[in-house]
Amino acid sequence: MQTSYRSSARILLPVRPWFIGCSLAVALLLNLLPTAAWPILPDWLALVLVFWSVREPRRVGMGLAFLGGIAMDVADAGLLGQHALAYVLAVYGGGALSRRILWFPLAQQALHVLPLLLLVPLVQVVVRFIAGADFPGFGFLLGPLLATLLWPILTFALLLPQHQPVDHDANRPL
């Protein structure tokens, strides 16, 4: 007998650390594409870091966010520490709000994650502004809005390897 479960009601297998690392590496590579300078595209590394900090706050923390931020700072050849500071603040917020965010359906989770994703470019703009750069305009806010729309798709894609089969086997307890 097959029953359809809501995605949040399903029991998930534990996430494998190599899968978290691979997803972060793919997000870093997506940020390094030449299209990453377009303001409408989301910051993929920030999105995946926030996702894993919400889903697995004990595995993905501020140290990993700092290392990813330093890698992005070196790749962008910008101010050293702007991405690192922004990612650390976003991951801290994701970890602190993870238990609350996971209570909601995916659409409402996306709305809860929106301030965390908006925090990343805001911190970067403020750091650059303090260093003497000009204001880039409000186009930098389009990326987090698209990332919020992509939250349900990203959740489905990154949780897919953890799903257990729906049909139950009499020989398995779970």
Q: What are the sequence ranges of the domains in the chain?
A: 17-162
Which residues, in sequence order, are bridge partners of residue 163?
12
Do the Cβ atoms of 14 and 164 come closer than 8 Å? no
The secondary element (H helix, E strand) that includes residue 21 is helix 17-31
The secondary element (H helix, E strand) that includes residue 1 is none
What is the structure's pLDDT at 6? 47
Do the Cβ atoms of 142 and 40 come closer than 8 Å? yes
What is the structure's pLDDT at 5? 40
The secondary element (H helix, E strand) that includes residue 75 is helix 62-76
Return d(Cα 70, Cα 80) in angstroms, integer: 7
Q: pTM to 2 decimals?
A: 0.85
pLDDT means per 10 residues, the chain with 174 residues, are 48 85 95 80 95 94 95 89 95 95 93 96 93 84 93 92 69 63
What is the structure's pLDDT at 169? 64
What is the structure's pLDDT at 165? 62
Do the Cβ atoms of 149 and 42 come closer than 8 Å? no
What is the structure's pLDDT at 140? 85
What is the structure's pLDDT at 76? 87
